[in-house]
């Protein structure tokens, strides 16, 4: 599972870099990468990683909300 997270992270950074060089939002590249390697695309992800993906999404949402809340004056 750790190698799957590492691969997703590295590919996400690469997609971000490529899309920013194309003058497109890097987040768009990460989203397209997730669709391509996800269960509805090529299904390259480990099934164990898919089982805990809801937890990762919840943690990501908490981090985003915390960063947005701490940025307010």
Read out DSSP for 12-23? HHHHHHHHHHTT
Tell me what the pLDDT averaged over the chain comes to. 89
pTM of the shown model: 0.72
Structure tokens at 14: 């690469």
- Give the percent of the chain with pLDDT over 90: 44
Average pLDDT over residues 27-54: 89
Model pLDDT, residue 73: 67
Residue-wise pLDDT tens digits, 5-40? 888 899 999 999 999 999 999 989 999 998 999 888
The CA distances from residue 59 to 41, 44, 51, 55, 65, in Å, are 24, 23, 14, 6, 10
- Indicate if the pLDDT at residue 41 is higher than 90: no
């Amino acid at each position: 599972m750790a190698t799957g997270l590492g691969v997703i992270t590295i590919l996400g950074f690469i997609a971000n870099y490529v899309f920013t060089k194309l003058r497109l939002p890097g987040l768009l590249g990460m989203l397209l990468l997730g669709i391509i390697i996800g269960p509805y695309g090529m299904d390259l992800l480990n099934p164990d990683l898919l089982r805990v993906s809801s937890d990762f999404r919840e943690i990501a949402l908490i981090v985003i909300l915390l960063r947005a809340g701490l940025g307010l004056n």
